[in-house]
Amino acid sequence: MAKHPDTTDRPAGEGGRTARKRRAILDAGTIAFLRDGYLGASMDEIAQRADVSKQTIYKQFLSKEALFLEIVSGLTNAGSDAVHDDIPALEPDGDLRAFLEDYANRQLTIVLTPRLMQLRRVVIGEVERFPALGKALYESGPKRAMGAMAAAFERLAARGLLRIDDASVAAMHFNWLIMSQPLNQAMLLGDAGIPEPDALRRHAAQAVGVFLAAFGNRQA
């Protein structure tokens, strides 16, 4: 009987070792790219930090750009997972304002971290040379966020809790009411510009108030 192609002549444990090496390369690459930028990051240093050869890196990722692209996608997807996965539905007798404030504060708290802000700055600096990096960050980050929000708003509108004609437009407004000022501060002022948790909660509450003034169903 022919062997399965994934296991043919593969020594026991090889798959686990390969996965560990790949994880070590991604971790080492994340440190180097966020600290030194794309051009400044050294593949020799990444190999040394990951305790692998450069040949092993290129076998796994083909190019420096491919490695950075996977790091960008991985970090932004992880952030999006933390914001949008496992959010409980609003209970029938739940408080819509409190629900939206929790959602807004969750997004602010997770997105406005030093690591994700460093990543965003590096990608923006390289987007002209490597547009795939910007596309990966946009699709895994803002685009995914607004898609999840739009779906949530459609469900709330179907229950008569929101008045919206276009859920995507409502999601765009919600996203930028939440993210605008805190994101600008964090991007332009560095880690010191990331607001404190109490300030983020106040901003989330104010942004939700503006959103509900425009889209809330006053009859609900």
Over the stretch 156-189, which tens digit does the pLDDT of each residue have? 999 999 999 999 999 999 999 999 899 999 989 9
Binning the chain into helix, strand and coil, the percentages to the nearest 5 are: 75, 0, 25
pLDDT band for position 143 (cuts 50, 70, 90) = confident
Considering the domain architecture, whether residues 45 and 122 belong to the same structural domain is answered as no
Q: Residue 200 pLDDT more than 60? A: yes
Residue 5: the pLDDT is 39
Over the stretch 75-111, which tens digit does the pLDDT of each residue have? 888 877 777 766 667 888 889 999 999 999 998 998 8
- CATH number of the domain within which 152 lies: 1.10.357.10
Considering the domain architecture, whether residues 53 and 78 belong to the same structural domain is answered as no
Residue 165: the pLDDT is 92
Residue 172: the pLDDT is 93
Considering the domain architecture, whether residues 48 and 77 belong to the same structural domain is answered as no
Task: For residues 36-62, give the mean pLDDT.
Answer: 87
- As a whole number, the mean pLDDT across the chain is 84
CA distances from residue 134 to 11, 80, 219 in whole angstroms, order as listed: 39, 16, 42
- CATH number of the domain within which 34 lies: 1.10.10.60
pLDDT band for position 212 (cuts 50, 70, 90) = very high
The pTM assigned to this predicted structure is 0.77
Q: Answer yes or no: is 181 within a domain.
A: yes
Comparing 134 with 215, the larger pLDDT belongs to 215
